[in-house]
Amino acid sequence: MKIICIGRNYTAHIEELQNERPEEPVVFIKPDSSVLPKEQDFYIPEFSNDVHYEVEVLVKIKKVGKHIEPEFAKNYYDEIGLGIDFTARDLQQKLKEKGLPWEKAKGFDGATVVGKWLPKTNFKNIDDINFCLLKNNKTVQTGNTSLMLWKIDEIIAYVSTFFTLKKGDIIFTGTPSGVGKIETNDYLSGTIEGEELFNLNIK
């Protein structure tokens, strides 16, 4: 199973990190070993003093596909989820400055939170889903999939021109603005349309 992530997919988040607006989707991969086991706490790794949460809508691929046309992309997923793309921002910044790959900052053990899955039939419109991240029961990030620069079906089409998608692969579709640092003893929870799909403690 691979985890394909889209960066810089919401304008407001591009602005908060002062990144350039991309002409094509920014794509990177996290290893399957980065998935935080269910019900486990997240431990801030020793190599970072600035781990950020990034809440993102997830799509689970249900069958093999490559060179998928956008109009057929919907045939490749039945489930929508929510997760966190934890990022060691200090390490990522150093790597970005040197033009180096940032996998270490995003692919470390536990850096990928995958919540509960919902059938896509729960949603009237995949491109109009509200989601939210709460830290210590206060909302810190809100997003709506309508605000994505590249929508879910466009992302699937785009990434499938580079990578064969396989059953069980997960796509992280990018984070809206409001990313921030986590501290020991924080409690994070994520909701889609008000339904909680994950919660975890930070240690």
Kindly state the smallest distance separating residue 121's Cβ from Zn ion, in Å: 26
Residues 56-95 contacting Zn ion, CB under 5 A:
85
Q: Closer to Zn ion at the Cβ: 175 or 189?
A: 175
Cα(187)–Cα(201) distance, integer angstroms: 5
Count of residues touching Zn ion (by CB under 5 A): 3
Q: Which of 51, 27, 1, 80 is nearest to 200 (CA)?
A: 51
5/61 with CB nearer Zn ion: 5
Q: Name the residue nearer to Zn ion (CB basis): 69 or 171.
A: 171
Query: Minimum distance from CB of 7 to Zn ion (Å)?
Result: 6
> CA–CA separation, 153 vs 118, rounded Å?
17
Choice between 85 and 186, CB closer to Zn ion: 85
Contact 6, 25 (CB under 8 A): yes
Residue 84: CB minimum distance to Zn ion, A: 9
Minimal distance, residue 184 CB to Zn ion, in Å: 22
Strand order of the sheet with strand 195-201?
138-144, 130-135, 187-192, 195-201
Would you count residue 34 as binding Zn ion (CB under 5 A)?
no
Binding mask 38-57 for Zn ion (x = CB under 5 A): ----------------x---
> Of residues 9, 175, 189, 191, which one binds Zn ion by CB under 5 A?
175
- CB within 8 Å of 78: residues ≥ 6 apart: 60, 62, 119, 120, 121
Q: Which residue is nearest to Zn ion (CB)?
A: 85
The CA-atom distances, in angstroms, between 33 and each of 3, 36, 37, 57, 178 are: 10, 8, 9, 20, 27
Question: Minimal CA–CA distance to 187: which of 140, 136, 114, 142?
Answer: 136
Q: How far is the CB of 135 from Zn ion (least distance, A)?
A: 17
Residues forming contacts to Zn ion in the complex (CB under 5 A) are: 54, 85, 175
